[in-house]
Amino acid sequence: MTTTAPAIESIRDAGYVDVLIVGAGVSGVGAAHHLRHQFPERTFVILDAQDNRGGTWWTHQYPGVRSDSDLFTYGYRFKPWRGPSIAAGEEILAYLDEVIDEYDLGQHIRYQHRVTAASWSTEDRRWTVEVARDDTGEQLRFTTGFLWMCQGYYNHAKPYQPRWEGMDLFQGVVVHPQQWPRDLDLAGKRIVVIGSGATAATLIPAIAGTAKHVTMLQRSPSYFYAPPTTHELAVTLRALDIPEEWTHEILRRQYISQTDWLAQTALDSPDELHAFLVESIAPLLPEGFDIDKHFTPRYRPWQQRIAIVPDGDLFAALREGTASIVTDTIETFTEHGIKVSSGEEIPADIVVSATGFNLSVLGDVAFTVDGELVDFTDHVTWRGIMINGLPNMAYVFGYFRHSWTLRVDLVSDLVGRLLAHMQDNGATMVVPTLRPEDSDIQLRPWSDPENFSPGYVMRSQHILFKQGDREPWTHLLEHEQERAILPEVDLDDGTLVYR
């Protein structure tokens, strides 16, 4: 018997573009609009590993999926939001479709194009980007003068799924919201949702009326806030037939101001904000409910995200008895449910592991610069937009406390200003570089645990790049700070080296 070596699949040259954008979610679509508006003559393409637009809104299709930020700030500043303040996932996708159609971005998007590697050549002044087409199996090679990473911050394919004792014994179904089966039948089922964050708070009220009963099993409580789905001011403005552009801007400023207050109060007067958040939900809970046990977190407000519960729908399910909360740790799965440390066994036909996701470092793409593999743990951010030592590469990372998209607009402005500055000065390369006075810089974790410490961040710190102890080598600032700082950034302060 003879064997032959498998054929080496050829790589097809997909051509050169001035700017290559990775990701067709809110970050990539927003970046593409700004790029096209500022530089209509430049060529660009958007690559996305998924088979449709939307990023997180395409990945997450579990019942009730919705925003946990208001849409007047989550929407782009250039595209007025016309719906309710808190929107369902399909409404957000429809909004993105409008942006893609109105600005003719669809022709530039390539779906099921998964970026696997990116190599920079100083001699050629370009990135070579290796791409796997998951629909055809082809291997492609793009080249570009500027790489813009807009792929988001977590692994879409591999959610965070802990393994608990006894899971193999369980006779029911275990699902993760990030991989929700379209044919999952919830009718009449006993469901346990493990987790207490935004996903659990969104999912439970959406399924409580269908399931026999839903139990939220949390190790420790989270903070919740129950605003109305539709802002009263929006109703008033629309009743007055105010132009949508004005309504969008007025509500946008209103929500920014509200979130500014929350963020500042969390820092200056955490006890005051704690009392406000806990007291605001108390009237929405069943009489005699143990607030101290189930709704009093161990951390200060906004050290982790505050879960938004529009119109208090989660609390309505608790009042109606279709949902309940158990605050305890898991001892073991059993054949028919979950046994917690108190000895109680919670019966379950379906267990939903709303345990979050795994952070991804720039899409887990393998980066090299002039033949040297990039170890991101040895690098530091430049204003949360670029990374030292990586030429002609920017990335988009939004806000944790404010709406993500507010930062998409700000970052796009700065990247556009940088590209124009390079063009005006005849530069073909820009690289963030530590100055001589930065030789004693102290590298700090990607996220300061005293600032923001959810589990998905803390368990990923070891793979992430760092921040420094001084500007401009820091990130994760608040929108109130950056909306003043970023438009005034000096592009010739010596931290960016041009060639």
According to the model, what pLDDT value does residue 8 have?
43
pLDDT tens-digit series, residues 291-345:
999 999 999 999 999 999 999 999 999 999 999 999 999 999 999 999 999 999 9
Nearest CA to 302 among 346, 266, 348?
266
- How confident is the model over 160-171, as a mean pLDDT? 96
- Mean pLDDT, all residues of the chain: 95
According to the model, what pLDDT value does residue 5 have?
37
* Predicted confidence band of residue 9 (pLDDT cuts 50, 70, 90): low
Q: What one-character DSSP code corresponds to residue 436? A: G
* Predicted confidence band of residue 415 (pLDDT cuts 50, 70, 90): very high
CA distance 296 to 302: 13
Which comes out higher in pLDDT, residue 330 or 10? Answer: 330
Residue type, 90: E
Question: Does the pLDDT at position 3 exceed 60?
Answer: no
Taking the whole predicted model, whether its pTM rises above 0.75 is answered as yes
Helix 270-281 / helix 244-268 crossing angle, nearest 10 deg: 120
DSSP H helices, 60-182, are 71-74, 89-102
pLDDT tens-digit series, residues 180-223:
999 999 999 999 999 999 999 999 999 999 999 999 999 999 99
* Predicted confidence band of residue 2 (pLDDT cuts 50, 70, 90): very low
pLDDT tens-digit series, residues 18-42:
999 999 999 999 999 999 999 999 9
According to the model, what pLDDT value does residue 6 have?
38
CA distance 98 to 102: 6
Largest CA distance in the chain: 83
Rounded-to-10 torsion of CA 114, 120, 125, 129: -10
* Predicted confidence band of residue 157 (pLDDT cuts 50, 70, 90): confident
Q: Do the strands 224-225 and 307-308 form a parallel or antiparallel pair, or are they unpaired? A: parallel
Question: Does the pLDDT at position 486 exceed 90?
Answer: yes
What share of the chain in percent tops pLDDT 90?
Answer: 95
The count of other CB atoms within 10 Å of the CB of residue 261 is 12
pLDDT tens-digit series, residues 218-269:
999 999 999 999 889 998 999 999 998 999 999 999 999 999 999 999 999 9
Question: Does the pLDDT at position 4 exceed 90?
Answer: no
Reading phi first (left if > 0) and then psi (alpha if -120 to 50, else beta), residue 371 is in left
| Residue 330 vs residues 96, 182, 249, 292: alpha-carbon distances, Å | 40, 28, 47, 20
According to the model, what pLDDT value does residue 273 have?
96
Strand partners, 298: none
pLDDT tens-digit series, residues 461-470:
999 999 999 9
3-state secondary structure of 350: strand
